[in-house]
């Protein structure tokens, strides 16, 4: 670990920055700020409007797109500045993450601090980071045509790729922190793998819920009473077994609710299956963390739903998913041969 400590610090710094970006992205989504910057300027976009003339030009550009014309036509310049800030901050953090990943990587490559296997892993990380940036642009583009909102499919792809990039960055760091691994029962390892896959599917449906504003209906638990917003009946009529669960608000929330029970069941199964096996201290810590975090995340999900997605609870629920993914990734690493 000492030999690779600076590489490890670099990778963990990347993890922390991705976490911050997802946090700010969640706030951006919940404050409906994501379409406030309608043009994409990789370098010039780093600097926000600096005077009233520039602010007015940015606001005039915003007025040309559906979100202003159909939803926010009552906005004045001060209202626009508030939503502009979160989207600008989200994009700036994304650019900063790119610099943090690329520049140290080139330095470590030049100074031969990376072995061949780590170089391959880092190249994959760079690809995931670039792909994440592309998906962000692709997502925003979908909200600038006809509807005043982004595609929930593209939102899910953007968010899930961020989670996967974080998890893989953590995995590469763990490979360097723990260069030798303990041989373990393959059944436990495979169970954790399946739990991780189910958790990622749940994250996808969580993004669907966010993208469709499906958290603002059926705001009770455990039942699903009729809410103010209802899913599109055309999907029920034409695709009763498919599109209602991927495009209808009620169907998407239904899937997200019951996937939560499945995720909890898997984490409990992992704890139960490992309680009588010989575990290292790190394996024990991993098991305890996923058990605590999955129960906390379930509670946050219920509260977020009951209180109709207040900003702080919506952000807390997203952070909970992030920590649960981190804990599950760590635990899988510790149970991997």
Distance from C-alpha of 202 to C-alpha of 259, rounded to nearest angstrom: 6
Check residue 233 and give its pLDDT.
39
Measured in degrees and rounded to the nearest 5, phi and psi for residue 182 equal -85, 135
Residue 275 CA to chain centroid, in angstroms? Answer: 31
Query: Does pLDDT of 256 surpass 90?
Result: yes
Task: Show the tokens assigned to 97.
Answer: 């993450």
The distance from CA 112 to its chain's CA centroid, rounded to whole angstroms, is 33
Closest CA to 289 of 239, 328, 322: 328
Give the residue-averaged pLDDT of 285-292: 96
Residue 41 has pLDDT above 80, yes or no: no
For 76-92, give the secondary structure using H, E and C: CHHHHHHHHHHHHHHHH
Q: What pLDDT score was predicted for residue 147?
A: 79
46-96 pLDDT, tens digit per residue, is 888 999 999 999 999 999 999 999 889 999 999 999 999 999 999 999 999
User: What is the structure's pLDDT at 101?
Assistant: 94
Across 2-11, 115-124, 222-231, 264-273, least confident range: 222-231
Burial of 337 (0-12, 13-18, 19+ CB in 10 A): exposed
pTM passes above 0.85:
yes
Mean pLDDT: which of 29-38, 152-161, 173-182 is highest? 152-161
**How does DSSP assign 276-310, residue by residue?**
TS---HHHHHHHHHHHHHHHHHHHHHHHHHHTT--
pLDDT average, residue stretch 127-155? 90
- Tell me the C-alpha distance between 148 and 101, whole Å: 34
Q: Classify residue 76 as left (phi > 0), alpha (psi -120 to 50) or beta.
A: beta
């Amino acid at each position: 670990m000492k030999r690779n400590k600076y590489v490890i610090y670099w990778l963990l710094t990347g993890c922390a920055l991705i976490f911050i970006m997802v946090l700010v992205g969640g706030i951006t989504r919940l404050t409906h700020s994501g379409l406030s910057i309608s043009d994409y300027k990789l370098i010039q976009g780093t600097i926000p409007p600096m005077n009233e003339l520039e602010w007015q030009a940015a606001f005039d550009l915003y007025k040309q797109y559906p979100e202003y014309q159909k939803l926010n036509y009552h906005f004045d310049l001060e209202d626009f500045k508030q939503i502009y800030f979160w989207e600008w901050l989200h994009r700036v953090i994304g650019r900063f993450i790119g610099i943090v990943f690329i520049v140290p990587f080139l330095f470590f490559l030049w100074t031969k601090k990376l072995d061949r296997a780590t170089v391959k892993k880092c190249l994959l990380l760079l690809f995931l980071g670039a792909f994440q940036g592309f998906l962000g642009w692709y997502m925003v583009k979908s909200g600038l045509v006809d509807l005043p909102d982004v595609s929930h499919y593209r939102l899910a792809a953007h968010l899930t790729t961020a989670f996967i990039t974080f998890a893989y960055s953590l995995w590469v760091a763990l490979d360097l922190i723990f260069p030798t691994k303990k041989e373990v029962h393959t059944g436990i390892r495979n169970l954790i793998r399946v739990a991780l896959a189910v958790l990622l599917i749940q994250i996808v449906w969580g993004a669907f819920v966010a993208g469709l504003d499906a958290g603002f209906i059926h705001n009770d638990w455990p039942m699903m009473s009729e809410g103010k917003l209802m899913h599109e009946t055309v999907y029920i009529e034409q695709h009763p077994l498919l599109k209602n669960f991927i495009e209808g608000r009620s169907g998407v929330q239904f899937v997200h609710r019951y996937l939560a029970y499945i995720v909890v069941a898997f984490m409990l199964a992992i704890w139960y299956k490992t309680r009588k096996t010989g575990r290292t201290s790190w394996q024990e810590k991993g098991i305890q963390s996923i058990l605590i975090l999955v129960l906390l995340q379930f509670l946050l999900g219920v509260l977020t739903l009951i209180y109709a997605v207040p900003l702080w609870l919506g952000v807390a629920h997203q952070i909970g998913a992030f920590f649960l993914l981190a804990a599950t990734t760590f635990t899988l690493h510790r149970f991997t041969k």
